[in-house]
Amino acid sequence: MQNKEQIIEDEIDLRELFKTIWEKKIFILLFTSIVTIISIMYVSFKNPIPVYQGKTYIEIGQIHSQNFEPTSLDNPIDLSEILKLELNVETKIPKQTQKLLEISSNNQNKEEIKNNLEKAVEFVINRHKEKAKFYENVIMTKQIGDVKIDNNPINKPKKSLIVAVSFVTGFILSIFIVFFMQFINSIRKEDTK
């Protein structure tokens, strides 16, 4: 008999839960509204300093000898690491390529981005000129296209997503608070018996 009573006590009564939520609907609505309004105010007044990104591509040159296959002047992976360390630019090897290297730079100032990328290209070309001066048949490293800088900042906040997440979080948190308050009240009632 005790086992059956304990099972009944441990069951969750969904009608009781929904009844509690319905009774505290004004608190839930107010709490959720306050959290949502605060998030709307936050995203309205938060205007981050825009950060832009620029990119350029270089094709790594090759050494041609009569007896052997063409050899790259530099390994793209090694060159990527050197550029990251020396010039603080990001590099990436585009998929399905072996001789192409994408160099990118992020900054608030577009002119500084352009300067950083031009320095990186100049650094690579000078490095490869130095390596290639001992060989006769060389295809030199070259920049492909110009430096391209996006006009749209890369750090643009997703305001609608922030408001939606804060609304859902406020709603869930308000329901948690309602059940936590009900739990505290039930403990107090048991203590007074």
pLDDT tens, position by position, 157-170: 788 999 999 999 99
pLDDT at residue number 175: 94
Query: Does residue 9 register a pLDDT over 70?
Result: no
The share of the chain scoring above pLDDT 70, in percent, equals 92
Report the residue count for the chain.
193
In a 10 Å sphere around its CB, with 0-12 CB exposed, 13-18 middle and 19+ buried, how is residue 163 labelled?
A: middle
Q: What is the pLDDT of residue 20?
A: 86
Please report, for the chain, the start and end positions of each structural domain, with discontinuous segments joined by +.
Answer: 52-114+123-149
pTM more than 0.95: no
pLDDT at 13 over 80: no
As assigned by CATH, the class of the 52-114+123-149 domain is alpha beta
Confidence of residue 6 (pLDDT cuts 50, 70, 90): low
Residues of 103-138 as b/e, b for ≥16 C-beta within 10 angstroms? bbbebeebeebbebbeebbebbbebbeeebeeeeeb
